[in-house]
Structure 1
Amino acid sequence: MDGELFPRERARIAPGAVHVPDWLDADRQAGLLEACRAWASPPAGLRTVRTPGGGTMTARQVCLGWHWYPYAYARTVVDGDGTPVKPFPDWLGELGRRAVADALGPRAATEARYDIALINFYDGDARMGLHRDADEQSDAPVVSLSLGDTCVFRFGNTETRTRPWTDVELRSGDLFVFGGASRLAYHGVPRVLPGTAPAGLGLTGRLNVTLRVSGFTGAPPRSVDAPARFPGGG
């Protein structure tokens, strides 16, 4: 927030999991927001995700590169308008590699070839249950970028949705990267703080841009333990 007495410092939340405050400056936040607005428009635009049990996610989502749906990936929006998924731009992959290098060091970014983006939009009442990003074949780090309203991001352990976990405040422009021993940690968003977005950004609500490496060489498989997990990114 503007006028803070002490600047926020980067923090190691768990092995391989790092929070970097204010990683995107105001201009880069505005540029990423403009891109998100274009991606959210139809076809293959922002949609409500429905789970196999008949429930719906409160955060709405659009995908790039590969289309995620519970609990698999496809090249078309199979649970929406059926159109081809929007392409994953090279510049976004480069942004992901820079993020990993800054958070975890250059060696961690060497083999990361990002080809999936999940963009989640949260209004004031939206949230995301604890889940793991486990539908990919690659163990490359996950990159999470926040725009707009502040949220409480809950980062847990790799074994269970229960404690121990750490709650982290993610504000607009913040970066969170998790890989290595924390790549399959449970995480979620129990709360969004409405009205906390930067005044000059022009966004009501929160956008989360999550980048992943698929590791797919052909058609991606459906997860065998799908009913035990929930969708999304951070």
Structure 2
Amino acid sequence: MLTDDLFASQPQPAIQLQAQAWLLPAFACSVDQQLWADIQTVIAQAALRQMQIPGGKTMSVAMTNCGDYGWVSDRSGYRYSATDPQTGSSWPAIPESLFDLAVSAAKAAGFDSFLPDACLINRYLTGCKMSLHQDKDEQDMTAPIVSVSLGIDAVFQLGGFTRTGPKLKVPLAHGDVLVWGGEDRLRYHGVLTVKQAQHPLVGGQRINLTFRKSN
């Protein structure tokens, strides 16, 4: 089991983006190899797939889930499901390394009671992006979102409470963790188009882990 001591001394201080939104630079770097190994184990059980959105378009980002619930999207809408619609089986459990990282990051950002029950695993290849959106399919809107970046760089956009208006552009590198919740929980956010690059651990892709308390 990971301990708080493992994350006690970080190479860079936390950066406050909004009242309850934080960037934790390089927070996951000390455990990145274990995370990557455990992510691959999850993907072997629940394959990555490009989901459809209700309008019929296919997402550029491929994704899967682990935890008690998984986020799914198709023509009928967005929702959480206790089973993988491709297999009919329960999603794999959140590996201990991922769970402990999410809890430790949430604590570092001031969310001491966060216990995620869902982890979305997103794969960004060159040219992939995530349009501005709010995460509002969860029942518990007080809990934070914990977002972990592995692999090639990306630029995260953190906006306001409407789709228009100014947006903060946050460069993300391997091991960076974002945490936002509380009064900032429903801010619009997204990822700009990922540029071609290579990372020694993950290769030519960005892996994003998004931890949530869905129920």
TM-score, normalized by the shorter chain, greater than 0.5: yes
Does 2:31 align with 1:28?
Answer: yes
Is contact 2:14–2:24 with CA below 8 Å preserved after alignment?
yes
Give 1:82 shift.
2.9
SS of structure 1 residue aligned to 2:23: strand
In 2, Cα distance between equivalents of 1:22 and 1:92: 15
In 1, Cα distance between equivalents of 2:87 and 2:80: 15
Give the equivalent residue in structure 2 for 1:87: 93
Give the equivalent residue in structure 1 for 2:147: 144
Give the equivalent residue in structure 1 for 2:23: 19
In 2, Cα distance between equivalents of 1:193 and 1:18: 24
Question: Can you give the 5+ residue segments of structure 2 that lack an aligned partner in the other structure?
Answer: 1-10
Write out the 4+ residue segments of structure 1 that deviate beyond 4 Å after TM superposition.
none
Q: TM-score, normalised by structure 1?
A: 0.79
SS of structure 2 residue aligned to 1:136: coil
Q: Say what the alpha-carbon RMSD is for the aligned residues.
A: 1.7
| Amino acid in the other structure paired with 2:151 | G
Is contact 1:127–1:191 with CA below 8 Å preserved after alignment?
yes
Question: Can you give the 5+ residue segments of structure 1 that lack an aligned partner in the other structure?
Answer: 1-6, 217-234
Give the equivalent residue in structure 1 for 2:204: 204
SS of structure 1 residue aligned to 2:208: strand
Which of 83-92 and 170-179 deviates more? 83-92
| Amino acid in the other structure paired with 1:59 | V
Does 2:55 align with 1:40?
Answer: no
Give the equivalent residue in structure 1 for 2:175: 173
Aligned with residue 10 of structure 1, among 7, 14, 30: 14
SS of structure 2 residue aligned to 1:93: helix
Give 1:93 shift.
2.6
CA distance 1:202–1:129, shift in 2 (3 Å): closer
| Amino acid in the other structure paired with 1:97 | V
In 2, Cα distance between equivalents of 1:115 and 1:83: 16
Identity, % of aligned pairs?
Answer: 35
In 2, Cα distance between equivalents of 1:89 and 1:119: 12
String of CA shifts for 1:49-108, please: whole Å, max 9, x gaps: 111211111010010121211311111122x33332112234433221110111x23xx2
| Amino acid in the other structure paired with 1:133 | D
